[in-house]
């Protein structure tokens, strides 16, 4: 069912294209040997080249080239064996050279695609237009002084991949799913850490609206969105704004707008209203980048199993649901953790535990998967104890809590606390007899039709056996005795 926004004059469709800037994971910058770490003291990770001192020249970082190719392959995209660096000329305080070294006519990566996993389980394919390498700019701080801006060039020259999608998205949810999936792929590849809060991944949205069947109308670009949640909000707001403009008889202007997350609105960037003529031309300090097919194939051979493939495999080999598989593969480390627990065990049981109690405990303690509340081996051990009937599912929950608390192994805890399941039918019978004998009036009520009391009896039997009675057996025997 297509996403539409209801306006006064009818239903409107949304057309969205996204430009994602992803900071490439590398030790040094794209064209200089300065470091790329986040959060360093101002201007301490700046080389003479980054500061655009007179006579300075760029030399390209081989790792950045590799990461771009790796990413292109991960997006099932065409790798262009010849690409050219071009200068994008404009003036700004955070752009020391007065131009950004980017790629224009001949980017390193061409068309590809990303498959979106929608919340309802369906998938959608979004086309990638291109991916190119470019320098990041420095940072300006405008709030440190009443009349001055402070410029820090640490980020100037850091390698970015600009990933441009085709305008294939039709709803804010699709945009969110796209960024989510793209981020996941980049993290799997190790080409970008996808940390939007720190700015290592930024998304600009090109948004336009139209009535069904129309060609594309004018689009506006929204910048300054640093979370997926804000991206959705910004797109929703902007779509409504444009619809209002049209329905009031106006026209939408092609412009850049800033997302204001405090006010929840997009604002025109008046200062950048002046037409930008970037005067792109091939950078004469750099020769064309020529790759061999052998080089590309070499990188292809080192690609990890990517989310889509891993998800398909989890569904096929482990019999997981589309939803569960999707959740598990979103982060590679989570998927690896699950597989370690599931290895040689019932995958569905493993999945329930990883996605259930384990995930809850992780969230509660604010843990990340590289610092889990219990190890995969340990959790696997717990699953084993359930599988061979040593403990019931209910007891396992208790054991799990103790595992988290004490860090002890599940088998040890079961032994220590004497939590072994009672499966001896004789003992269970005895317990049931005791409960029924102690509650004759309730027995009469049950036999008289109050079926709900069955649960009461089960509860009492559990209490009587310290929770250790095998629930299935309790059920069967109690049923028989109350018949």
Partner 1 sequence: MSLDKDTVRTIANLARLEVRDDELDHLAGELSNIMTFVEQLAEVNTDGVQPMTSVADLALPQRADIVTDGNCRDKILANAPEQQDGFFLVPKVVE
Partner 2 sequence: MTKLINLTMADARKALAAKDFTAVELVDAHIAQAEKARPLNAFVTETFDLAREQAKASDARIAKGDAGAMEGLPIGMKDLFCTEGVRTTASSKILSNFVPPYESTVSANLKRAGAVTIGKTALDEFAMGSSNMTSAFGNVENPWKRKSDPSVKLVPGGSSGGSASAIASHSVMAATGTDTGGSIRQPASFCGIVGIKPTYGRCSRWGVVAFASSLDQAGPMTRSVRDAAIMLGAMAGHDPKDSTSAPMPVPNFEAALTGDIRGLKVGIPKEYRPDGLSAEIQALWDNGIAMLKDAGATPVEISLPHTKYALATYYIIAPAECSSNLARYDGLRYGVRVEGKTLDEMYAKSRAAGFGKEVRRRILVGTYVLSAGYYDAYYAKAQKVRRLIADDFAKAFQTVDVILTPTAPSAAFGMGETDDNPVTMWLNDVFTIPTSMAGLPGLSLPGGLSADGLPLGLQLIGRPFDEETVLRVADVMEKAVGFNALPAFVEA
- Chain residues in the site for partner 1 (CB under 8 A): 26-28, 32-35, 41-51, 59-65, 84, 91, 93, 140-142, 144-153, 258, 269, 271, 277, 279, 282, 284, 286-290
Q: How many angstroms separate the CA atoms of 435 and 427, rounded?
A: 13
Q: How many angstroms separate the CA atoms of 408 and 428, rounded?
A: 29
Query: Candidates 52-60, 255-263, 326-334, 361-369 — which segment interacts with partner 2 by CB under 8 A?
Result: 52-60
Q: How many angstroms separate the CA atoms of 19 and 163, rounded?
A: 6
In the range 31-50, which residues lie near partner 2 by CB under 8 A?
48
Inter-helix orientation angle 332-342/322-329, to 10°: 120
Closest separation in Å from C-beta 281 to partner 2: 6
**Any contact of residue 277 with partner 2 (CB under 8 A)?**
yes
Q: Which of 273, 285, 424, 433 binds partner 2 (CB under 8 A)?
A: 285
Judged by CB, which is closer to partner 1: 263, or 290?
Answer: 290
The b/e string for 127-158 (b: 16+ C-beta within 10 A; e otherwise) is ebbbbbbbbbbbbeeeeeeeeeeebbbbbbbb
Instruction: Tell me, residue by residue from 59 to 78, as one string, x for binding to partner 2 by CB under 8 A and - for no binding.
Output: xx------------------
Closest separation in Å from C-beta 236 to partner 1: 23
Closest separation in Å from C-beta 89 to partner 2: 6
**Any contact of residue 358 with partner 2 (CB under 8 A)?**
no
Q: Which does 63 bind (CB under 5 to 8 A by kind): partner 1, partner 2, none?
A: partner 1
Nearest to 441 by CA among 431, 456, 459, 427: 456
Q: How many angstroms separate the CA atoms of 175 and 161, rounded?
A: 19
Q: Which does 47 bind (CB under 5 to 8 A by kind): partner 1, partner 2, none?
A: partner 1
Q: Which does 257 bind (CB under 5 to 8 A by kind): partner 1, partner 2, none?
A: none
Closest separation in Å from C-beta 195 to partner 1: 20
Judged by CB, which is closer to partner 2: 152, or 339?
Answer: 152
Judged by CB, which is closer to partner 2: 280, or 454?
Answer: 280
- Length of the chain equals 483
Q: How many Å from the N-terminal Cα to the C-terminal Cα in the chain?
A: 51
- Tell me the torsion sign for CA atoms 401, 407, 409, 414: negative
Q: Which of 1, 62, 91, 449 binds partner 2 (CB under 8 A)?
A: 91
Q: How many angstroms separate the CA atoms of 94 and 44, rounded?
A: 15
| Alpha carbon separation from 17 to 237, 436, 466 (Å, rounded) | 16, 68, 60
Nearest to 107 by CA among 70, 88, 133: 133
Q: How many angstroms separate the CA atoms of 382 and 408, rounded?
A: 11
* Residue 224, phi then psi, degrees to nearest 5: 75, 35
Query: Candidates 55-63, 207-215, 237-245, 475-483 — which segment interacts with partner 2 by CB under 8 A?
Result: 55-63
Residues 6+ apart with CB under 8 A from 418: none
Instruction: Tell me, residue by residue from 118 to 157, as one string, x for binding to partner 2 by CB under 8 A and - for no binding.
Output: -------------------------------x-x------
Q: What residues are paired with 6 via a beta bridge?
A: 11
Closest separation in Å from C-beta 63 to partner 2: 16
Closest separation in Å from C-beta 218 to partner 2: 19
Q: Which does 326 bind (CB under 5 to 8 A by kind): partner 1, partner 2, none?
A: none
Closest separation in Å from C-beta 56 to partner 2: 7
Judged by CB, which is closer to partner 1: 257, or 311?
Answer: 257
Judged by CB, which is closer to partner 1: 28, or 165?
Answer: 28
Is residue 165 within 8 A of residue 18, CB to CB? The reply is yes
Closest separation in Å from C-beta 86 to partner 2: 11
Q: Which two tokens stand for residue 141?
A: 């701080």
Q: Which does 263 bind (CB under 5 to 8 A by kind): partner 1, partner 2, none?
A: none
**Any contact of residue 93 with partner 2 (CB under 8 A)?**
yes
Nearest to 225 by CA among 205, 250, 198: 205
Q: Which two tokens stand for residue 337?
A: 């953790």
Residues 6+ apart with CB under 8 A from 369: 331, 333, 334, 337, 362
Is residue 271 within 8 A of residue 265, CB to CB? The reply is no
Closest separation in Å from C-beta 50 to partner 2: 10
Q: Which of 99, 230, 337, 353 binds partner 2 (CB under 8 A)?
A: 99
Judged by CB, which is closer to partner 1: 289, or 351?
Answer: 289
Closest separation in Å from C-beta 283 to partner 2: 8
Residues that bind partner 2 (CB under 8 A): 48, 51-60, 87, 89, 91-93, 96-99, 149, 151, 277, 279-281, 284-287
């Amino acid at each position: 069912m297509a996403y539409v926004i209801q306006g006064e004059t009818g239903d409107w469709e949304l057309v969205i294209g996204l430009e994602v800037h992803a900071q490439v994971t590398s030790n040094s910058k794209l064209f200089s040997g300065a470091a790329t770490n986040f959060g360093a003291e101002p201007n301490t990770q700046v080389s003479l080249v980054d500061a655009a001192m007179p006579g300075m020249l760029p030399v390209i970082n081989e790792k950045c080239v590799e990461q771009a190719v790796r990413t292109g392959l991960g997006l099932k995209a065409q790798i262009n064996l010849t690409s050219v660096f071009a200068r994008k000329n404009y003036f700004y305080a955070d752009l020391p050279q007065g131009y950004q070294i980017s790629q224009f006519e001949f980017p390193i990566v061409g068309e590809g695609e990303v498959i979106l996993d929608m919340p309802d389980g369906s998938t959608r394919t979004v086309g990638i237009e291109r991916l190119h390498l470019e320098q990041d700019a420095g940072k300006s701080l405008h709030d440190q002084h009443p009349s001055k801006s402070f410029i820090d060039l640490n980020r100037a020259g850091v390698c970015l991949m600009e990933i441009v999608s085709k305008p294939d998205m039709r709803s804010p949810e699709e945009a969110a799913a796209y960024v989510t999936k793209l981020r996941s792929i980049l993290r799997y590849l190790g080409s970008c850490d996808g940390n939007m809060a720190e700015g290592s991944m930024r998304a600009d949205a090109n948004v336009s609206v139209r009535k069904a069947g129309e060609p594309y109308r004018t689009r506006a670009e929204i910048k300054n969105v640093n979370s997926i949640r804000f991206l959705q909000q910004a797109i929703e707001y902007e779509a409504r704004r444009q619809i209002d403009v049209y329905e009031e008889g106006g026209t939408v202007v092609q412009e850049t707008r800033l997302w204001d997350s405090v006010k929840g609105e997009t604002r025109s960037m008046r200062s950048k209203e002046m037409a930008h003529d970037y005067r792109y031309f091939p950078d004469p300090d750099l020769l064309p980048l020529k790759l061999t097919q052998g080089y590309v194939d070499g990188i292809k051979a080192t690609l990890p199993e990517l989310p889509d493939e891993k998800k398909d495999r989890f569904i096929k080999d482990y019999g997981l649901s589309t939803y569960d598989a999707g959740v598990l593969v979103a982060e590679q480390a989570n998927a690896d953790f699950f597989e370690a627990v599931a290895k040689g065990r019932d995958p569905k049981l493993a999945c329930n535990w990883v996605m259930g109690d384990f995930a809850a405990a992780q969230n509660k303690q604010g843990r990340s998967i590289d610092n889990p509340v219990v190890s995969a081996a340990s959790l696997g051990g717990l699953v084993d104890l359930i599988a061979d009937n040593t403990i019931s599912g209910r007891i396992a929950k208790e054991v799990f809590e103790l595992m988290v608390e004490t860090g002890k192994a599940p088998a040890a805890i079961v032994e220590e606390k004497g939590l072994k399941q009672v499966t001896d039918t004789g003992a269970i019978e005895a317990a049931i007899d005791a409960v029924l004998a102690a509650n004759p009036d309730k027995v009469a009520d049950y036999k008289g039709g109050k079926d709900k009391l069955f649960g009461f009896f089960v509860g009492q039997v559990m209490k009587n056996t310290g929770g250790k009675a095998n629930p299935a057996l309790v059920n069967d025997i109690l049923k028989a005795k109350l018949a």
